[in-house]
A and B are shown apart, each in its own frame.
Chain A
Amino acid sequence: KQEVTQIPAALSVPEGENLVLNCSFTDSAIYNLQWFRQDPGKGLTSLLLIQSSQREQTSGRLNASLDKSSGRSTLYIAASQPGDSATYLCAVRLYGNKLVFGAGTILRVKS
């Protein structure tokens, strides 16, 4: 059974700091991995999607890496801003387009 773990569970950093969120999964038989952002009272917003054959994806200040063989992914946020405060969720995509999510990392960026 696929299990996804995210570390840390919560993180508080001062504005401007670079930070790394970690995601690990137990079964490397995945199609891709996706990072989402969740704001209170809102749905999930897709940030980055990395195919299983890729090593990393970048979008603006965000960079996500994937090491499928070791079952790990990281989300790097450069020059963090208060508007980055949210919960960040990692999910792996399995056969049948099923997503298995981690519990998330709650990020707070202090101004």
Chain B
Amino acid sequence: EAGVAQSPRYKIIEKRQSVAFWCNPISGHATLYWYQQILGQGPKLLIQFQNNGVVDDSQLPKDRFSAERLKGVDSTLKIQPAKLEDSAVYLCASSSIAGTKYEQYFGPGTRLTVT
């Protein structure tokens, strides 16, 4: 079974530029999550999708961050305009409604550096 795929793996941009990240979850997983992990901290949930609907985006800075999940499969996370404090690793995870424990499976992450 293929894991969660993310691209790009690394991105360097200047502040005030825009950037987009892509995530492809495990096939059949209805729930998709985006996390932000700042250096030295644990991952923080930004947004949670159930199929193509948003379940929780309470910690998403909506003035600059946006996310969508196309047809309930792939997802993109966009930042526009970027700030220095957005430098972090952006992790995507997915989980299945069916099965036990609703375990989340994580992708390798995208490391963003804003200069």
Contacts and interface: CB of A to CB of B under 8 A. Distances in A.
Interface of A: 4, 32, 34, 41-46, 49, 51, 89, 91, 93, 96-99, 101-104
Given A41-B108, A43-B91, A97-B95, A49 B44 contact: no
Interface of B: 4, 9, 31, 40-45, 48, 55-56, 91, 93, 95, 101-109, 111
15 contacts: A4-B42, A41-B9, A41-B108, A42-B108, A43-B108, A44-B43, A44-B91, A44-B93, A49-B101, A91-B42, A96-B55, A96-B56, A97-B95, A101-B44, A104-B42
B41 A103 contact: yes
A46 B101 CA distance: 12
Nearest 7 Cβ contacts at the A-B interface: A101-B42, A43-B106, A44-B106, A97-B102, A43-B108, A103-B42, A101-B43
Query: Do most interface residues of chain A lie in helix, strand or loop, or is the interface mixed?
Result: strand
